[in-house]
Structure 1
Amino acid sequence: MQLVDMFFDEIEDAKKRKVPFIIPIGTIEYHAHHASCGCDTMVINGVMRELEKTKEIVVCPPIWYGVASYAVGGPETGTIQVDVDVYEQYIYCILRSMLYGGNKNIYCVAHHQTEEAGLMPMTIACHKAAKKLIMEYMEDTRGRGWWGSNEYSNYYKNLGSGDDPFSYIKVIPLISANAQHECGGFDHAGKFETSLLYALYPNHVDLVRTKDNTEWFAESAKEASMELGQHMVRCTLEALQETII
């Protein structure tokens, strides 16, 4: 289900049943000459489109602009960079509306600088926004000392479950570390990311243009294939089936 297509009663029902609400966390960033600048966000959208076929989820509008950084190229390449502190506050505001609206099963799914599922500025911003919000929400709704109260004597027993307040909002990479290994690798605008985008949105990849690439990171893009991309989609979906609950 796409959030923008849902009616109020449908949204309320999904929240009550704790259906996972997914926020795609991407960027607008230079992906060499052969791949579209929306690649990071689009691959999340595409995978969620496939995940919807087998799992009940609510896909929220994606966050297109992100903490891209100018590590790959400056603004002249089309990369749009949002300052990390501004971004954290923006994500915080979105999550605050959702949490106070009764949504307690939110996933921020990121695809940018997530090699080996490591933490980088954009994902750190999402984690900080989520944890800050949860602490404020629990104090606001349960009062100071909420964690130390006997009401939370089962806190450690419930860790990671739906009764754990720190599980109300989770920040995960689109492709987990294990899934990256199953896929065979991970890169930026190389054969792996290009193949993934190609399998999900073939019209947003033009392999003929790989001849115009001069940067090291895009050299392997000419090896991209639909078969590799479909394999990566399968590996990613298998991991997400277990992670998103």
Structure 2
Amino acid sequence: MRYELCTPHQLRQAQAENLPLVLALGVQEYHGEHLPLGVDLLAVTRCLDRLEAEAPDRMVILPSFAYGAASHAVAGAESFTLHLPTQAFQPLAEALFAALLKAGFRNIHGVIHHQTENFAQGMPTDLTFRLAARNAVFAHLEATRGPGWWGAKGMETYYEAHAQGENPFNWVQIHPLMPPEVAEHFPFDHAGEGETALMLALAPETVEQARMAENDTWYTASAPRASAAQGEAGVAIILAHLKGLLGL
């Protein structure tokens, strides 16, 4: 279900069932001459499209966030990479999560593919959304339970409840599309064999294979090895991971 297409009674039912509310996070970044600027976003949105087709009533998909701190580490501004400093979108992310919490959602997930090989320590875009999520939850808890809510009488079972999954800080979570347990079975790269294969499977209309010869960068050298079949195998692994993550 798409949030913007849902009627209020559909969202009330989604809340009653605690269905996952999913936000695709991406950036616009140079991925060689053969791939589109939106690879990192498309990898997430097209995977969510497939999950929705399999289980159309088991999750709600929010409109995507298509911009972020892409950085110019790969190529400069002339490459059409759109880099936004984190301070430009951190307030928006926090306000969005605050609004969703206020609306009553408690099973919110952001999924990102950009620079997630370092997800354990974090990179600017995912760290910004993770901080926004934490700030929004803290603010919501204080607003609804009052200052000192954690130290108040009656919270003695906080750690026991935490261990059983009753953790308010799980209300908003940010995840990599390809965590280590996925990446160990499929090439994780930038515009090389792995991402080219993913696009051949998920968005073949965006891949210009004839332009691979125009690439003169080290990170695209493996791209000609990619195939749609390889990409489909990778997508299957990703979808299995997402299903487990979202409880589908």
- TM range, normalised to the smaller chain? over 0.9
2:18·2:106 contact (CA, 8 Å) conserved in 1? yes
User: Given the alignment of the two structures, is residue 140 of structure 1 paired with residue 147 of structure 2, yes or no?
Assistant: no
1:32·1:213 contact (CA, 8 Å) conserved in 2? yes
1:116·1:176 contact (CA, 8 Å) conserved in 2? no
What does residue 90 of structure 1 align with? 92
C-alpha RMSD over aligned residues: 1.4
Shift of 1:93: 1.3
User: Given the alignment of the two structures, is residue 213 of structure 1 paired with residue 215 of structure 2, yes or no?
Assistant: yes
What does residue 176 of structure 1 align with? 179
TM (normalized to structure 2)? 0.94
Shift of 1:95: 1.0
Q: Report % sequence identity.
A: 31
1:25·1:62 contact (CA, 8 Å) conserved in 2? yes
Give 4+ residue runs of structure 1 displaced > 4 Å after superposition.
Answer: none
Task: Structure 1 unaligned segments of length 5 or more: list them.
Answer: none
Shift of 1:157: 2.4
What does residue 197 of structure 1 align with? 199
Count of residue pairs brought into register by the alignment: 244
What does residue 75 of structure 2 align with? 73
Of 104, 107, 116, the residue aligned with 1:105 is 107
Question: Given residue 144 of structure 1, which amino acid in structure 2 is its aligned partner?
Answer: P
Shift of 1:57: 1.1
What does residue 63 of structure 1 align with? 65
TM (normalized to structure 1)? 0.95
Query: Cα distance 1:232–1:225, how it changes in 2: closer, same or farther (>3 A)?
Result: same
Task: Structure 2 unaligned segments of length 5 or more: list them.
Answer: none
Q: What SS does the corresponding residue of 1:81 show, helix, strand or coil?
A: coil
What does residue 159 of structure 2 align with? 156
Q: What SS does the corresponding residue of 1:12 show, helix, strand or coil?
A: helix
What does residue 37 of structure 2 align with? 37
Greater shift in the superposed pair: 81-90 or 163-172: 81-90
1:116·1:180 contact (CA, 8 Å) conserved in 2? no
2:95·2:136 contact (CA, 8 Å) conserved in 1? no
Greater shift in the superposed pair: 158-167 or 23-32: 158-167
Shift of 1:85: 1.6
What does residue 53 of structure 2 align with? 53
